[in-house]
Amino acid sequence: MSFFFTLLALVVALGFTWRYLGSYMASVFEGRVHFLGRLERPIYRLLATSPEHEQTWKRYAGALVIFSAVSMFFTYVVLRLQGSLPLNPQHLGSLNPALAFNTSVSFVTNTNWQNYGGETTMSYFSQMGALTVQQFVTPAVGIAVAIVVVRGFSRRNSQTVGNFWVDITRCLLYILLPAAFLFGIIFVAQGAVQTLAGTVSFHDALNNVTQTMARGPIAFMEAIKQLGTNGGGFLNANSGTTLENPTGLTNFLSIYLLLAIPVALTYTFGKMVGSIRHGIALLSVMTLLFGVWVGFTSFAEHQNNPAVAAAGVHSTVGNTEGKEVRFGDTSSALFAVASTSTSTGSADASYDSFTPIGGLGLMSGMMIGEVSPGGTGSGLYTLLIYAILAVFIGGLMIGRTPEYLGKKIQAREVKLAGLGALIMPITVLIVTALAVSIAAGRAGPLNGGPHGFSEILYGLTSQGNNNGSAFGGLSGNTPFYNVVGAIDMLLGRFAIMIPVLALGGALAQKSAVPESLGTFRTDNGMFVGLTIGVILIIGGLTFFPAISLGPIVEQLSHVRFF
Amino acid sequence: MLVHLRRSLVMATICMVLFGFVYAFAGTGVAQLLFRSQANGSVGANGSLLIGQNWSSPNWFHGRPDDTGPYAADPAKGTSGGDNPLKANGVSGESGATNLGPRSAALLADTKQLVAYWHKLGVNPTPDLVTTSASGYDPDISPQDALVQVPMVARATGIAPTRLRTLISAQTHGPQFGFLGSSYINVLQLNEALARLR
């Protein structure tokens, strides 16, 4: 019953956010919000740019790629020099080149895959100056790309798509910074840790236990980690720890925060293209998929853990292995689905210990391309790719030139959308095949049998989708996984973003065709169903053979343990 | 190309200063000003409320078995066990789950060992008491997890079971606002209250 109220509260909170954050974000990107103008204008001066200087999609993409490369370089340098930098109370050494490379790629691609243990590897300097920075910057970049596609639909006969520097600055100052700061305060009030004072030791005279606890600037990193669908926590066990996620309320707020921007962007889209109904259609696709995934994953986690049941302990409180008492089974499952259906990848439970079907729920949320509701920006632009494919297929079925929002969808747009939809599955399946073919890859999993394969498949799916969650048993800090994972993450981010920017540019150049009686409707239930169909068919056909070797075999192997 | 590079260097520097350091320092300032105790880790006389501890004696209520039986710290093997926020009784570790899969033979064997461990203490264990947590140092147990331990604690301490049950219900935190999360008891708080009862 309390799970029902949790869902209800989430729907109400997200409903308001959709309406008001959505329209606020449209105002931000249309340049009508100025309350931090004293900070915004000097930044443009230092960059020698201004909102009036618009870029073509090629220049926009060039700025994005070079800025990301520079960000990666900054992150890499900080991690490599960590041992000689200040704010390092635990005197942690520098990272080795492979791990520093993987980590810098991971944070610059918004993946936040962590091949390191936070509290035993990263100094406060690195957590703040390298990782938290990217947790602000990368969602801004993702949202900027989504806004370019939106402008592709809203502009007519335009050679330009906006100014990259202006878009990310506005997103950072007016959306991410105020919200993250506000929620950081709430997290501290609830008990999350925020200090620069280093570790603390204590002795308990009752049981004669002495402990030393890691601390750090955790709570405010937590806020942007969730809001920006980043997912990389301060500590190894992420949101499972009380230091990051102390109460039922912070757990709920985490779920809310990581869904907020991806959901609200559909309203922003509707408002900017002048048809809220089109935004509602996309929101419906997200909500229906999310609802189904929450349903079967939380049902699966409310069942017994097969190994625990075989040991003779039967549960009425679901699968408790790897879960925290204060959250319980269904709330942990809700968090997990929210985290894997966006590109967040934070975890308040051990996903590796989920039941086979529960684990499948998480894996498949990523495999359908993270569109329900997807990452900050990446969710909207990936969903628009599927919408374009749905329009194309719908157009073929009724024999008309497909149009979406008055823009003709022609060969070039379909090719770019097809490329955007297929790069992820191709990359993920090839690197997974590589990992299971060679000894260095097979050395990774902790668990045996089909679950070992699931660990590899999950890890490479997560990195290819820039999610960052893991079946934590996989030992990723090896030269093989550090390098292959980094390639997987880079392709999953930039090999999709560039065709998407090209798509935005191509659409912006087109003039609008007036709507007629024969126009294929793209704002009704039929279109929602068609888009969901396209998403499920592409995701299902590409990944079904792989998942049947992992979670499905595992679910069906009764009474066998590996 | 060069103009992109120059702007990227400037922007990356601005971001590092503003969203790395200014953000975290300002946040720490506000946190220390308004919520000092929470921000510093909720540390009391006997430890932090955020971190589970190893309660091995039957005189006390036990937490989740993160550091018990098959999961106990073994300095000889260099394994840290759970309940280890960085260092516990001299052994180094970090937060983390066991990551054993749902059809793991190791998980089956470990769980059987824990069931035997509890039976030896005269406790019929609940699922929480034979499974480990996400963090590896879950500081909480459910009211049911505490109630099944009442006979053990009553026998060891001589305190009447009814008084222990009253203590448990007094220490139970319900779901926040009545519906967020599950009911839980902080084991450290429970045992501190138990110590006052003696």
Examine the domain organization and report whether B66 and B92 are in the same domain. Answer: yes
Examine the domain organization and report whether B94 and B128 are in the same domain. Answer: yes
Examine the domain organization and report whether B119 and B23 are in the same domain. Answer: no
Shortest alpha-carbon distance between residue A536 and chain B (Å): 27
Examine the domain organization and report whether B33 and B56 are in the same domain. Answer: no
Confidence class for position A327, pLDDT limits 50, 70, 90: very high
Structure tokens at A535: 């998403």
User: ∠A88-A93-A97 over CA atoms, to 5°?
Assistant: 125
Confidence class for position A559, pLDDT limits 50, 70, 90: confident
Give pLDDT, residue A453. Answer: 97
Shortest alpha-carbon distance between residue A43 and chain B (Å): 8
A451:B102 CB<8 A: yes
Give pLDDT, residue A520. Answer: 86
B46 domain residue, yes or no: no
Could you say which DSSP state residue B51 is in?
S
Give pLDDT, residue A349. Answer: 97
B44 domain residue, yes or no: no
* B38 interface with A at CB cutoff 8 Å: yes
Examine the domain organization and report whether B23 and B55 are in the same domain. Answer: no
A324:B195 CB<8 A: no
A213:B50 CB<8 A: yes
Give pLDDT, residue A530. Answer: 96
Give pLDDT, residue A455. Answer: 97
**Structural domains of chain B, count:** 2
Mean predicted confidence (pLDDT) in A93-108: 97
A313:B126 CB<8 A: yes
* Domain range enclosing B119: 51-197
Burial class (CB in 10 A: 0-12, 13-18, 19+), A392: buried
Examine the domain organization and report whether B26 and B71 are in the same domain. Answer: no
Examine the domain organization and report whether B32 and B108 are in the same domain. Answer: no
Structure tokens at A245: 């996620």
Examine the domain organization and report whether B22 and B56 are in the same domain. Answer: no
Could you say which DSSP state residue B82 is in?
S
* Domain range enclosing A128: 1-562
B45 domain residue, yes or no: no
Q: Which of B23, B55, B134 sits opposite A237 (nearest CB)?
A: B134
**Structural domains of chain A, count:** 1
B131:A321 CB<8 A: yes
Task: Using the predicted structure, report yes or no on whether residue A1 has a pLDDT greater than 90.
Answer: no
B93-152 confidence digits (pLDDT tens): 999 999 999 999 999 999 999 999 999 999 999 999 999 999 999 999 999 999 999 999
The lowest-confidence range among A144-153, A251-260, A513-522, A528-537 is A513-522
* B134 interface with A at CB cutoff 8 Å: yes
Taking only residues 40 to 99 of chain B, the set having a beta carbon closer than 8 angstroms to any beta carbon of chain A reads 40-43, 46-51, 53-57, 60, 64, 83-90, 92, 94-99
- The percentage of chain B sitting over the pLDDT mark of 90, rounded to a whole number, equals 90
Neighbours of A517 (CB within 10 A): 4
Give pLDDT, residue A163. Answer: 98
SS3 for B140? strand
Task: Compute the distance between CA of residue B65 and CA of residue B56 in angstroms, rounded to an integer.
Answer: 10
- The percentage of chain A sitting over the pLDDT mark of 70, rounded to a whole number, equals 100
Question: Which chain B residues are closer than 8 Å to A172 by Cβ?
Answer: 15, 19
Question: For residue A264, what are the contacts with CB-CB under 8 A and spacing of at least 6?
Answer: A17, A18, A21, A22, A25
- Complex-level ipTM: 0.96
Examine the domain organization and report whether B26 and B58 are in the same domain. Answer: no
Neighbours of A415 (CB within 10 A): 14
Confidence class for position B170, pLDDT limits 50, 70, 90: very high
Q: Which of A194, A312, A328 sits opposite B181 (nearest CB)?
A: A328
Examine the domain organization and report whether B20 and B113 are in the same domain. Answer: no
Give pLDDT, residue B78. Answer: 75
Confidence class for position A400, pLDDT limits 50, 70, 90: confident
B14 domain residue, yes or no: yes
